[in-house]
Structure 1
Amino acid sequence: MRALPLCLLALSLTGCSLLHKPYKPITAPEARPTTTETPARPVARPAPVKLYTDTTELLSNPFRDLGEVSGEDCQTNRQDSPPNINTARKRMQIRASYLKANAVLLHKCEIVNESKGCYRQAICQGTALKVSGK
């Protein structure tokens, strides 16, 4: 009766050793010659988006409305850094640049307490515009 547990133990140990793969050392990548390397392309950055806070600034320039845009900065819990309105405003401008806008008319920026998923949240809302130059 004592032989059965010993046989099962020996069988289980040998079964696990059959699954083990041999160790292969990691080799360093081949050194490439520097003369044949092509330079890396710069990452495309969104075009700068001007921020308008007053509608009277737009009166002299023709523009096209491209839609509403918003930006957020979230503080997930009390220990995180507080939400920043400047970060929310910048994210709004970046979203406007994805719409091919070159300006944003800012409607409002505010800090909201206890929003969904955030302890506190900075939110900026505006309208993306394509302003024609003079």
Structure 2
Amino acid sequence: MRVVPLCLLALSLTGCSLLHKPYKPVEPFKQPAQTEPVRSKPAPRPAPVKLYSDASDLVSKPFRDLGEVYGEDCQSSRQSSPPAIATARKRMQIRASAMKANAVLLHKCEIVTNSQGCYRQAVCQGSALKVSGQ
């Protein structure tokens, strides 16, 4: 009785390999004729985003508010490196750059404890701005 399941298993494993498929040779990769080596371009750097911490610095400058931006740095456990406000601020500026902003008005930066997924977290919030004549 033990032989029947073993035979069925062997038969099922070999059944798929018995299907005949015609062999098609693979064409070799053809390289284009070039005399110069191909150089990859480096990824474009995000545009620099100026950080304003005081709204009075923007009084004489025309600007357009593009929306809220934030940045964070997470300390996942007690043994991990502590969160840095400078890193959170930089990530906020990178997000503003992705929105085509050239400035950020900083609202607040703080260290938050016991946030979801982090032991401690540095969080910065601000407004992405497009300042004319900067």
- Shared fold (TM-score greater than 0.5)? yes
Q: How many percent of aligned residue pairs carry the same amino acid?
A: 71
What residue number does 2:38 align with? Answer: 38
* Counterpart for residue 80 of structure 2: 80
- SS at structure 1 position matched to 2:44: coil
- After superposition, give the CA deviation of every residue in 1:72-129 in whole Å (9 maximum; x if it has no partner): 0000000000000000000000000000000000000000000000000000000000
SS of residue matched to 2:93: helix
Alignment length (residue pairs): 125
Consecutive aligned runs of 4 or more in structure 1 exceeding 6 Å deviation: none
Equivalences for residues 1-134 of structure 1 within 5 A? 36=35, 37-133=37-133
CA distance in 1, matches of 2:107, 2:73: 17
Partner amino acid, structure 2, of 1:132: S
**Could you say what the CA RMSD is over the residues aligned between the two structures, in angstroms?**
2.8
Q: CA deviation at 1:44?
A: 1.1
SS at match of 1:41: coil
Shift of 1:132: 0.2
In the superposition, the TM-score normalised over structure 2's length comes to 0.74
TM-score (norm 1): 0.74
Mean alpha-carbon deviation: is it higher for 36-45 or for 89-98?
36-45
Residue 21 of structure 1 is matched in structure 2 by none
CA distance in structure 2 between the partners assigned to 1:95 and 1:45 by the alignment: 13
SS at match of 1:73: strand
